[in-house]
Structure 1
Amino acid sequence: MTDLPKTAKAVIIGGGIIGCSTAYHLAKLGWTDTVLLERKKLTSGTTFHAAGLVGQLRSNANITQLLGYSVDLYNKIEEETGLGTGWKMNGGLRLACNEQRWTEVKRQATTAHSFGLDMQLLTPSEALELWPLMDVSDVIGAAYLPTDGQANPSDITQALAKGARMAGAKIFEDTKVTDIEIENGKIRAVITEHGRIECEKVICCAGQWTRNFASRYGVNVPLVPMEHQYMVTEPFDVPSNLPTLRDPDRLTYYKEEVGGLVMGGYEPNPIPWATNGMPQGFHYTLLDSNFDHFEQLMEQALGRVPALEHAGVKTLTNGPESFTPDGNFIVGEAPELSNFFVGAGFNAFGIAAGGGAGMALAEWVHKGEPPFDLWSADIRRFGRPHFDTDWVRTRTVEAYGKHYTMAWPHEEHASGRPCRKSPLYDTLKSHGACFGEKLGWERPNWFADASLGEAAKDEYSFGRQNWFDAVGREHKAAREAAVLFDQTSFAKFALKGPDALAAMNWICANDVDKPVGALVYTQMLNDKGGIECDLTVGRVAHDEFYIVTGTGFATHDFDWISRNIPDGLNCQLFDITSSNAVLSLMGPKARDILAAVTRDDASNEGFKFGTIRTIGIAGCPVRALRVTYVGELGWELHLPVEYAQTVYSALKEAGQAHGLINAGYRAIESLRLEKAYRAWGSDIGPDHTPFESGLGWAVKLRKNVDFKGRAAAEAQGSGGVKKMLACFTVDPDVVLLGRETIYRDGQRVGWLTSGGYGYTVGKSIGYGYVRNPEGVDVKFVTSGNYELEVATQRVPCNVTLQPLYDPKMERVKT
């Protein structure tokens, strides 16, 4: 073999489609000394046995954009490299065989329209014209996406590899990586069985081997291998232009192959593989066909494609694929190790994602940040439960089994629960709490009243769900009396040290240079002015800050803050999430209740909004934050976990006379929608700036102090924006979930980032960005006539840039 280079700018581990695509894109970006190492042969891990369907639509706009990039790349890579890829843009069909599925498909079509995809709804007879082999007697309707297609996985990977070499990258097969050399927390070299390559950046695209390999260096990659089977038939006059077909009600998919069919699917009882570790030397290897397990899919398929009964079976391919606990893939720089990047866990759609994921990873390596917000695939979306492989496997089995089941609104996972519990879990459960789960934490979503015949269990539908009235009671109490939320799952950090203020001044967009006792709502921006973190910062000492952020952002925000503390500053960041319980007391009677349980001054003059201080309740030192995310008077009460039950009991007893009740996260969502509070991960994120999202008031541009993202914020503050977040309201019978298409004067201008119902205003509420390449201002937003497309139907709506509810002005907008 050719001698390995002694040095490289970046080393990619793994020669499947993701690794080769990353090499291709890095080389195109000028990283011509990129090296890709494959322990055996290219595609010999899992790529070679992939089914090769390429669908584009996902529930996230940027993931859809990424998959669309794959299609664009596959359209041209054959011409660029001269290698055939088997790529056919033959379209994709998705069937619906019951009314609930038809509603889901119509909502998916609207999502497609929101993201600029041409998804067409068809009658059963129209679908039959495109796919004449099927029985449509049970089909209600279908959706057709003309730009979907299929490819030959090995061929398209070889084309990407050739393109990478043509651009200057070097690829070495039969070169196993044995170790990574790390010195003082920094990557120094990759060690292979044929020598050492000095480098600073490593991109691990090792498929189902990634978790075990990365864990050697403290990096957590939550994926496990699962058996995945598909059948290949002998030819039986299948048209070559047949679209790919997904039949989710029968759990199956199909594509044409050399005059025959490939048919596979997702069983509700999947089989994990290699539960005791990966076999040595496993490559270009398939598992034994499991006809008994596949029979359940075969029975479903025969009902759809009767001709399969007489078609010869060429092979039943059983190959392991890496799957993740939430069904999305994993990309990004590991929070545990700088310059160690991951691209893995593609849940059997690695061919569809390959082009775009490689592009995104290459951009991330090249610029230090992704090309756009990829939060739903970001490695930092995981946390503590995901270090346990058994927990990851348990949740992943459930996610695999749900691949083709109905994607219900507000659906919760059931496996691996309970995992992380508040000290109040059992108490709240006895009071009727129906729990949801986030990052392993059990969190009350709503409370059932047994005296009304309610059971603490979600019943899913696309209409108003069974908890609608219960959440309405909680919402009403928050507006008129008081509620208590258990928000123990909040992520909580402490930044300590002589230079803590200097660090926070640089990282925070708002002014945190305040006296001890000040509480500040702030964003943290990237260099493009996008919002990377959205959190609350309290100054609790001259050299210490208390930082509170959302449950699901614990890993991400800790990583962002720690990475952006300027070199040379003396301060340390600590995750203290598990030390403190949080009880949020909210509502117009909150002051009366708090005053009844503490000797400290709870008056407005004595405890102003935007302040933090320690008070005493029932023998407990409580860090009280006067802040609200529901638009009412209130306090977040942060306290050591051992006091949680005592303080909760004291508040509940004192609150009896004031109508205090328990409330959950679904009421928080309803309340915050009325008050126009933004949610990171939906309404705001790295692709949205404070000036686009109506948060420019929280940026310290008037102060003569530099901070990360200031230049971009200044440019936008003076130059205007091309999109602006607005609030839309529609008739209460219309259920808004997010991703509904926004039309202004008949033109598509965006989609809803979040949706729900406001019980005080009696309207369905959505937020979304109004976009215009020529620029957007208040007049542009408020002057148009608007409609929302909901499940392919357009409905008139009202628009506003103001909160719908403001208790200070006693105003409710309808």
Structure 2
Amino acid sequence: MKTHVKALVVGGGAVGTGIAYHLAKAGWDTMLVERDELTSGSTWHAAGLLPLFNMSYATTHIHKYSVDFYKGLEAETGLNPGFYVVGNLRMAQRQERMDEYMLYSSVAETAGVYHEFLTPKEIKDRWPLVRTEDLIGALYHPQDGYINPADVTQAMAKGARQLGATIERRIQVDGYFWTGDEWIVTCRRMEEKGGMLLPSEDSFTIHAEHVVTATGNHAQRTAKLLGIKIPAIPVEHQYIVTEPDPALVEWRKTNPQHPVLRDADAKWYVREERGGWILGPYEVGAPARFEYAVPDSFRADLFPLDLERIEGEYMSFIHRIPSSETVGLKDDYNGPICYTPDGNPLVGPAPGLRNMWLAEGFSFGITAAGGTGYYLAQMMVNGEAEIDMASLDPKRFGGWMTTEYAARKNEECYNHVFILHHPDEEREACRPLRTAPAYDRQKEMGAQFGQVNGWERPNYYGPKDAPSNFDHDSRSFRRGAWWPHAVEEAKAIRETAGIIDASAFTKHLVRGPGATAFLDWLTCNKLPNVGRINLTYALTDAGTVRTEYTIVRLKENEYYLISAGAWTAYDADWLMKSAQDFMAMDGGHIDVHDITTQWGVYALAGPNSRAILAEIVKDADPATVLGNKRFPWLSYRDIELGMCPVRAVRVAYTGELGWELHYPIEFGRYLWDLIWSVGEKHGLKGVGARAQNWLRQEKSYRAFGNELGRDATPLEAALDRFVDMGKEFRGKQAVIDTGVRAKCCTLLIDGPSDTDPWGKEALLLDGQKVGRLTSGGYSVAFGKQIGMGYVRPDLAEPGTKLKVKIQLKEWDAVVTEDSPFDPKNARIRVDG
């Protein structure tokens, strides 16, 4: 057996074999080890469904690749993976579900996934066993279906072997040790004893340059061995198989299989199985299992069935397919399926570790296996994938997350599989948890909160006496009941003043003799002078945007870095590893500290913001301390507001006169009350994240995770003014070599009267897709919809007329100049 390889994959389910296949195809010497038999984890009892896409752009591409890849496996390996291309019918019982499917359609169109809409009559004409009188339509994907999980896994395993990979079974990994150059992985052979699989005395080591863990239900054991947190915990999933249905058997004599049927409003899927039906419900109350470890006694085992828990879903299945009412049950399954708190898998570099890659937490592992292998292999071999994989990065969940939190959120995620997934959805489990000091004050004012990285953050301020279900009932695929409140908040920023709690911002302190040279190398813009700030970007080695930073230069070699609140652990890991790399090049000592929880932030903006601060600032000359001469735009000052020390930064993400007030976290409630004690007479209003999102689009301010990501360079993002090509920086040559494949632009849209774009829609020219939106919303300044997105470079010129597809209709859109509102920044720079 080999003891030295380029890449070691741990875990022999569908995901692990998909990764081993694609690494071997890329030319890497690859070994896969599995503690039991291939497919012995969740793969063996998976239903094998292959939904082509979901609302995640990255996951949609992963699923699409898998479906296409599986169709060619038999020709390559000689093994039939058992792929039945029967299609996928998503049925809708109500208009709101159809609204969801119309948004699904937008995502599918941007990813090139074919689909069509069917009326109830068209459904009944094609599949008469399905009851349709209470349906209003369906979304149909004719190109997907289902596959045999064991067969596709074995086919990928054979393909991996043909490409030179080694696959070893009955080997358990007991430890991982990083030498600085390679991983030494300690292993033991497994033996069957009394029906249990136990480690033997036969131990050995494998040396690997890279390791990928795809350990499925054993992710918590993997986390302990690596000394990290992996919020992938299984949840029970039941499905039942019926005896043959005579009506179905008769139908199949002259007709093809039914598509996979999904009645999302009833919370189940159904497909054919040997003349009968497989029913898979996603019920409320399914418990998390193996929160800490999988028992040695659990192998290819199942849990006891809990039929009472799925009685409602079973009855709705009989309602939808009446012929099933008299059919008996043949088999039942209740097995563990891994989830994560947001439902997306964990794919990418492990936090704090070098050359350690995670592929964990797959609730749709069969669908994702091929695509995960393809895109993860690109990341490992080339440095980046061709699509932005940040939304799946394991570091999107911070170190604050506990096992209890992950288990409860994973249970919630399971029973939310078939709920309406509004773009303005906020899930309730485990909340509130992380709260800024003024949380109670904001709640009393009517704040309706969202969650970002565990932090409670006002999305908008509703009525003070709003019922507890106000936000839940306000959600919509159109303009929800929250929309008028966000409009008034946006107007306040433009006309008087607004205050935004931005405490969730990620904050790092970078200092030391090597700090200046390090940040100059890491980022593409000039560094600011002491007392000034700059917006800049850290790039990947592929020249794409890794992180956006506002850099405040406190001293000659001391910097305060501000970045997106959702990405704290992601940014911390990048900074730490990059600093280590730089010091290894004799770049001088650098200290990097995550100080996110030490500092709160209030963003105060609007024409009256200076007047508000002038009443509470403590200075020998309060009349001039906030003016342009002493406190110009894009600078910072240490000031005192009442008894609160404040690091004030003159910048506003909303594009108005304003300041970010960074304060020691323990002063948060005092400072909030102080600002409000003088603010109301100046028209001050609490403002949430939704209004802020609209306002930043009026200024064409890009957002990380939307316009900015690891699939576009800063030049493609049209951020040329923030790129200093006269200096050397990480990723510079790649930026030059890549050129401009697509370009970011802002569009004003004459859309429907009751719906704004969500940033997922296709951009069209003469009926052909030429780009996609990455952000969308409403502009109070222009009184119409607004959006940002990417198009062909020749179409990014102001005045270009395009179409945006919203609710299946094409609406007029015009590319505007960058920063259509106040393009000369006169309002931001106004003196006092």
Q: Which TM-score bucket, shorter chain as reference?
A: over 0.9
Per-residue Cα deviation, 1:3-22 (whole angstroms, up to 9, x for no partner): x3221212111100011111
Instruction: Find the partner of 1:414 among 398, 404, 428.
Output: 428
Q: Secondary structure at the match of 1:133?
A: coil
Larger deviation, residues 296-305 vs 238-247: 238-247
Match of 2:600 in 1: 581
Match of 1:378 in 2: 393
Would you say the 8 A contact 1:185–1:337 is kept in 2? Answer: no
Per-residue Cα deviation, 1:459-505 (whole angstroms, up to 9, x for no partner): 21222211222222211111111111111111100111100011101
Q: For 1:61 and 1:90, how far apart are their aligned partners in 2?
A: 24
Would you say the 8 A contact 1:92–1:148 is kept in 2? Answer: yes
Q: For 1:249 and 1:657, how far apart are their aligned partners in 2?
A: 49
- CA drift at 1:337: 1.5
1:616 aligns with 2:640: yes
Match of 2:43 in 1: 47
Match of 1:16 in 2: 13
Match of 2:370 in 1: 355
Q: For 2:692 and 2:773, how far apart are their aligned partners in 1?
A: 19
Instruction: Find the partner of 2:53 among 44, 57, 60.
Output: 57
Match of 1:642 in 2: 666
Q: For 1:809 and 1:580, how far apart are their aligned partners in 2?
A: 28
Match of 1:212 in 2: 221
Q: Secondary structure at the match of 2:171?
A: coil
Match of 1:162 in 2: 158
Matches within 5 A, 1:358-757: 358-386=373-401, 388-450=402-464, 457-458=471-472, 459-512=474-527, 514-565=528-579, 566=582, 567=584, 568-569=586-587, 570-600=589-619, 601-701=625-725, 703=726, 705-715=727-737, 720-731=740-751, 733=753, 734-757=755-778
Would you say the 8 A contact 1:227–1:321 is kept in 2? Answer: yes
Q: Secondary structure at the match of 1:147?
A: coil
Q: For 1:664 and 1:88, how far apart are their aligned partners in 2?
A: 48
Letter in 1 for 2:218: W
1:252 aligns with 2:268: yes
- CA drift at 1:186: 6.5
- CA drift at 1:715: 4.3
Larger deviation, residues 452-461 vs 158-167: 452-461
Q: For 1:720 and 1:244, how far apart are their aligned partners in 2?
A: 41
Q: For 1:589 and 1:344, how far apart are their aligned partners in 2?
A: 50
Q: Secondary structure at the match of 2:72?
A: helix
Would you say the 8 A contact 1:130–1:243 is kept in 2? Answer: no
Letter in 2 for 1:516: V
Q: Secondary structure at the match of 1:199?
A: strand
Change (3 A) 1:760 1:199: same
Q: Secondary structure at the match of 1:216?
A: helix
Q: Secondary structure at the match of 2:308?
A: helix
- CA drift at 1:399: 1.3
Match of 2:353 in 1: 337
- CA drift at 1:789: 1.2
Letter in 2 for 1:748: K
Q: For 2:644 and 2:181, how far apart are their aligned partners in 1?
A: 40
1:111 aligns with 2:107: yes
Letter in 1 for 2:518: A
Match of 2:784 in 1: 763
Q: For 1:187 and 1:338, how far apart are their aligned partners in 2?
A: 9
Q: Which runs of 5+ in 1 are unaligned?
A: none
Q: For 1:20 and 1:100, how far apart are their aligned partners in 2?
A: 39
- CA drift at 1:184: 6.4
Q: For 1:48 and 1:808, how far apart are their aligned partners in 2?
A: 61
Per-residue Cα deviation, 1:687-731 (whole angstroms, up to 9, x for no partner): 122222221110011x2x210121133346xx5443443323224
Would you say the 8 A contact 1:94–1:142 is kept in 2? Answer: yes
Q: Secondary structure at the match of 1:417?
A: coil
Q: For 1:721 and 1:292, how far apart are their aligned partners in 2?
A: 55
1:139 aligns with 2:135: yes
1:153 aligns with 2:168: no
Q: For 1:457 and 1:720, how far apart are their aligned partners in 2?
A: 42
Match of 2:22 in 1: 25
Q: For 1:351 and 1:454, how far apart are their aligned partners in 2?
A: 39
Change (3 A) 1:371 1:768: closer
Q: For 1:319 and 1:522, how far apart are their aligned partners in 2?
A: 48
TM-score (norm 2): 0.92
Letter in 2 for 1:792: L
Larger deviation, residues 65-74 vs 254-263: 254-263
Matches within 5 A, 1:123-272: 123-183=119-179, 187-193=183-189, 194-236=203-245, 237=249, 239=252, 240-272=256-288
- CA drift at 1:803: 2.1
TM-score (norm 1): 0.94
Per-residue Cα deviation, 1:522-581 (whole angstroms, up to 9, x for no partner): 111113321111120111111111000111011111222222232233102110001011
Larger deviation, residues 11-20 vs 720-729: 720-729
Q: For 1:549 and 1:270, how far apart are their aligned partners in 2?
A: 37
Would you say the 8 A contact 1:494–1:544 is kept in 2? Answer: yes
Letter in 1 for 2:269: Y
- CA drift at 1:216: 2.9
Letter in 2 for 1:203: V
- CA drift at 1:276: 6.0
Q: Secondary structure at the match of 1:178?
A: strand
Q: Secondary structure at the match of 2:270?
A: strand
Letter in 2 for 1:168: G
Change (3 A) 1:453 1:369: closer
Instruction: Find the partner of 2:80 among 71, 80, 84.
Output: 84
Letter in 2 for 1:253: Y
Letter in 1 for 2:396: R
Q: Which runs of 5+ in 2 are unaligned?
A: 190-202, 620-624, 828-832
% same residue = 37
Change (3 A) 1:478 1:272: same
Larger deviation, residues 739-748 vs 44-53: 739-748
Change (3 A) 1:786 1:460: same
Q: Secondary structure at the match of 2:226?
A: coil
Match of 2:193 in 1: none
Q: Secondary structure at the match of 1:421?
A: coil
Q: For 1:167 and 1:158, how far apart are their aligned partners in 2?
A: 14
Q: For 2:801 and 2:747, how far apart are their aligned partners in 1?
A: 14
Larger deviation, residues 328-337 vs 705-714: 705-714
Q: For 2:782 and 2:596, how far apart are their aligned partners in 1?
A: 35
Q: Secondary structure at the match of 2:537?
A: strand
Q: How many residues in Structure 1 have an aligned counterpart in Structure 2?
A: 796
Q: For 1:607 and 1:810, how far apart are their aligned partners in 2?
A: 16
Letter in 2 for 1:625: V
- CA drift at 1:338: 1.4
Q: For 2:261 and 2:338, how far apart are their aligned partners in 1?
A: 23
